[in-house]
Amino acid sequence: MNVKEPSATDEFIKGLWRENPVFVQVLGMCPVLAVTNSAVNGLAMGVATTFVLLMSNSLVSLLRDFIPKQVRIATYILIIATFVTIVDYAIEAISLDLHRALGAFISLIVANCLILGRAEAFASRHKPGAAVLDALGMGAGFTLALLCLGGVREILGAGSLFGLVLFPAGFEPWIVMILPGGGFFTLAGWLLLINHRRQRRERAEAAGGPLQEAGR
Partner 1 sequence: MSEQSLWSVFVNAALVNNFVLAYFLGICPFMGVSAKIATATRMGGAVMFVMLVSSVCAFLIHHALLAIGAPFLELIAFIVVIASTVQLVEMFIKKMSPALFRALGIFLPLITTNCAILGLALFQTNRDYGFLQCVAFALGAGAGFTLALILMAGIREKLALAEVPEVAKGSAIALVVAGILSMAFMGFAGLAA
The verdict on 67 binding partner 1 (CB under 8 A) reads no
One-character DSSP codes across the chain: ---SPPPHHHHHHIIIIIT-TTTTT---HHHHHHSTTSHHHHHHHHHHHHHHHHHHHHHHHHTTTTS-GGGHHHHHHHHHHHHHHHHHHHHHHH-HHHHHHHGGGTGGGGG-HHHHHHHHHTGGGS-HHHHHHHHHHHHHHHHHHHHHHHHHHHHHHHSEETTEE-S-TT----HHHHSHHHHHHHHHHHHHHHHHHHHHHHHHHHTTSSS-----
Residue among 12, 51, 88, 145 that touches partner 1 (CB under 8 A):
88
Please say which residue, 7 or 85, places its beta carbon nearer to partner 1. Answer: 85
Q: For partner 1, what does the binding mask look like between residues 115 and 154, x meaning CB under 8 A?
A: -x--------------------------------------
Q: How far is the CB of 148 from partner 1 (least distance, A)?
A: 14
Residues in touch with partner 1 (CB under 8 A):
26, 29-30, 33-34, 74, 77-78, 81-82, 84-85, 88-89, 103-104, 107-108, 110-113, 116, 176, 179-185, 187-188, 191-192, 195-196, 199
